Structure 1
């Protein structure tokens, strides 16, 4: 397994790999790897010959400096995991390698509409940071396939739009949410939950799941009442609810009466930790 820190060296390696006509699979991460990341790597091996994993905690996508400072850095542990999974290359650049002129002077990439709604409204600038770093990483690595989890549904939709509209010849492959036995979606941020919060956290999925089951056959007015009741229940459990509703699965706009496929998006604070989740459902009219 090669650990590469410099873009120039990575570029040289990519040129050699391209000459062999081997398919390159890319898994972008911010480190602090968990089973969800491992599942992405295993999935990538079904499509690609060479697997590249990046580890870079991207400051541009953090709207909270304290959140950035507290983000867990576990590089040595991550490398042990990646070695066991027979990853070919780990790209581990420092901030000056990615942003040599500083973040404020960095040219950025934005997917306009999708980046400003929902999570984008709650976390201004977050998606600008995501799409900028992903664009840079795509340019460095030139993968044939890139792999993302479906937990960050809005982010996944934004990246698919980015690839389509900037004419990247990269196929985006997504992995369904990986959960603990209690239903909690796996996330590096779960490590920030204290003992009490870890017991409460699974209720975000449990309540969302029950809400989805209840609203499938109901009209819009009854759906609204059911969703409102579920929000109240979450608040009573200790959550500070930000997003908890259904949206058009393709546009993230409120669903019209003609739309059957919708995505239920949930986002809530539990203490100092922001949890997100989602579930795709089909409404019956």
Structure 2
């Protein structure tokens, strides 16, 4: 299996005559691959003739330098996992200089307000960094289909908005959250948790599931108060936010509207590691 380290090398491969009419599936990641990433790759393999996986820890979407420094980088292990799945997958693992060409700053994007909710409130500039790298990767790979997990549901909606506003020719496919046996949403950050914290973190999905049940008969505000109260019972966790928002606009739900789709969004810290999750409240 060949790992492409420059966009020029990757584009030479993709532009070969025998590849030009083939559908390209693309899975962008920051590495530290887990079963959730592999499920995205499996879907791409089933729906496209060519699958490209990018592994790049993008510095412009981190507003915390320590978080960037500690983010797991496991390229060798990642490549072995991909090779085991399918040796024909093209892996693009560029350097910062290959992507940003000596100008490591993000472009400012307008996502019609989607960027100002939840993660945007707590991580200033984060979605400018996301938009910058996703747009660059789309320009390099030129995929037919691109696959994103719903664990980062706000990011998924922002990528859809980016594609629509910039008229990028790619089909964005959202894929269900892949969970550990305990219910904890799979994330590269889970690898930084101690064994006890990882076990304890199943609480996040348990409380989200209870919130979903309560949303059937309770107001959005009542459900938010319930979640906040539950986390206060568990001092190892620090709840950054829990919000109920409309799926399309990501605006906070003040009063439920019939036939509108809502989700519960959460961010919590345990062992100073930030975990996010969400749940459909249909």
TM-score, length basis structure 2: 0.93
Q: Which residue of structure 2 aligns with residue 253 of structure 1?
A: 251
User: Could you give the per-residue CA deviations for residues 19-44 of structure 1, whole angstroms, max 9, x where no partner exists?
Assistant: 54110000001111000011000011
Q: What is the CA-CA distance between 1:109 and the residue it aligns to?
A: 4.2
Q: Which residue of structure 2 aligns with residue 94 of structure 1?
A: 95
Q: Does 1:232 align with 2:229?
A: yes
Name structure 2 gaps, 5 residues minimum.
none
User: What SS class does the counterpart of residue 181 from structure 1 fall into?
Assistant: coil
Cα-Cα RMSD:
1.7
Q: Which moved more, 1:111-120 or 1:144-153?
A: 111-120
Q: Which moved more, 1:64-73 or 1:189-198?
A: 189-198
Q: Which residue of structure 2 aligns with residue 273 of structure 1?
A: 273
TM-score, length basis structure 1: 0.92
Indicate if the aligned counterparts of 2:182 and 2:199 stay in contact, CA closer than 8 A.
no
User: What SS class does the counterpart of residue 15 from structure 2 fall into?
Assistant: helix
* Change beyond 3 A, Cα 1:3–1:276: same
User: Could you give the per-residue CA deviations for residues 128-157 of structure 1, whole angstroms, max 9, x where no partner exists?
Assistant: 111100000000000000001000010000
Runs of 4+ in 1 over 3 A off after TM superposition: 17-20, 106-110
Q: What is the CA-CA distance between 1:274 and the residue it aligns to?
A: 0.8
Q: What is the CA-CA distance between 1:204 and the residue it aligns to?
A: 0.9
Q: What is the CA-CA distance between 1:55 and the residue it aligns to?
A: 0.6
User: Could you give the per-residue CA deviations for residues 84-134 of structure 1, whole angstroms, max 9, x where no partner exists?
Assistant: 121431111101111122324x54545351112210110111111111000
User: What SS class does the counterpart of residue 152 from structure 1 fall into?
Assistant: helix
For residues 27 and 195 of structure 2, the distance between their equivalents in structure 1, rounded to whole angstroms, comes to: 31
Q: Which residue of structure 2 aligns with residue 141 of structure 1?
A: 141
Q: Which residue of structure 1 aligns with residue 264 of structure 2?
A: 264
For residues 240 and 19 of structure 1, the distance between their equivalents in structure 2, rounded to whole angstroms, comes to: 49
* Change beyond 3 A, Cα 1:258–1:18: farther
* Change beyond 3 A, Cα 1:6–1:117: same
* Change beyond 3 A, Cα 1:224–1:107: closer
Indicate if the aligned counterparts of 2:118 and 2:243 stay in contact, CA closer than 8 A.
no
For residues 107 and 263 of structure 1, the distance between their equivalents in structure 2, rounded to whole angstroms, comes to: 29
Alignment of 1:53-64 (within 5 A): 53-64=53-64
For residues 178 and 258 of structure 1, the distance between their equivalents in structure 2, rounded to whole angstroms, comes to: 29
* Change beyond 3 A, Cα 1:157–1:18: farther
Q: Which residue of structure 2 aligns with residue 166 of structure 1?
A: 166
Q: How many pairs were matched up? A: 278
Name structure 1 gaps, 5 residues minimum.
none
Indicate if the aligned counterparts of 1:268 and 1:274 stay in contact, CA closer than 8 A.
yes
